[in-house]
Structure 1
């Protein structure tokens, strides 16, 4: 610190002397210009935030309207067959078949998720919820090791779904 002080003192003096060379009116004008620039930046940022908030609200409104629409039973059955294959009879899953059903769901979700629309995610979520309901029914007979694996698969599914929601929301906010 002591070695820094001898070098800083001349710079500090030079800055003070330069400030002394300007008049109060000149300093007032400089401050006024800086405030104007800051005000313009703040106004621009606020305008962008209002536009983004409106777009996010529209996206949210459309998402809520979509989720209120009932899922088609035939499409749900077809989607269940596509995602679960031999485990499509969710109400018949047992302690030994519930974990492979979740594994199959995640395998198919990983493969197909990039091409899914939000409506496809609605169907996948409905299937996921049905699996979770079946898990609740048989959970007490499930070995802890299997339950732990299922919890990890559930976390991955929710992460993929949330990631898609965030991506779509980001796209909705950015689009003109």
Structure 2
């Protein structure tokens, strides 16, 4: 906008006119920068608040009964067998976890995600135990499912930060 104003007025204007055009453009840029800085500060405060709330929630231990119930929902036929999964079973078990996560995530609270993350971590621990015996094609399938779970979780975090940002005073 500044460049266009200078080009259009450059031939038919005096140096004083061009100086005024530059001054006005500078004021517009300053206003835009101030607005962006306020928005960035608000998002930063909201993100810090969201992270602090998450840390406090995650510091509380998970309820073992609730953990078993969530694992049963998420793992379906693999419930109670995570520590016994073989390299051949793991791709399907991760698939089960991701399918159920996709299905249920819309109604989950942050705490429900904590429980889902605990199930995911148990699967990852089992993967570490048997990974060397897993064919590469199956490992690629597992990695794809891991990436999808993490992206679903990240989408939830983004929604939480967005909600926290909307609650911040402008």
Tell whether the structures are fold-level matches, with TM greater than 0.5: yes
Counterpart of 1:44 (choices 28, 35, 40) is 35
Q: 2:106 aligns with which of 84, 104, 114?
A: 114
- State the 1:76 CA deviation: 0.5
How far does the alpha carbon of each residue in 1:80-122 deviate from its partner, in whole angstroms, 9 at most, with x for none? 0111122112112223332222121111111111211121111
1:105 corresponds to which residue? 97
Q: Distance in 2 between matches of 1:14 and 1:119?
A: 61
Structural RMSD (CA): 2.4
**1:47 to 1:74, Cα distance in 2 relative to 1, 3 A:** same
Does the residue aligned with 1:134 lie in a helix, a strand or coil? helix
Task: Give CA deviations for 1:116-141 in whole Å, capped at 9, x if unaligned.
Answer: 11211111111011011111112222
The corresponding residue for 1:165 is 157
Runs of 4 or more consecutive aligned structure 1 residues displaced over 3 Å after TM superposition:
12-15, 26-38
TM-score (norm 1): 0.78
Greater C-alpha radius of gyration: 1
What TM-score results when the alignment is normalised by the length of structure 2? 0.81
1:19 is aligned, of 13, 16, 33, to: 13
- d(CA) in 1 for partners of 2:137 and 2:27? 64
User: Any unmatched runs of 5+ in structure 1?
Assistant: 1-11
Distance 1:103 1:95 in 2: 14
Match of 1:86, SS state, is helix
TM alignment of 1:85-164, pairs within 5 A: 85-89=76-80, 90-164=82-156
How far did residue 28 of structure 1 move? 4.8
Change (3 A) 1:61 1:93: same
Tell me if 1:78 matches 2:72. Answer: no
CA contact (8 A) 2:9 2:18 kept: no
How many residues matched? 161
Q: 1:28 to 1:129 in 2, by over 3 A?
A: same
Match in the other structure for 2:4: none
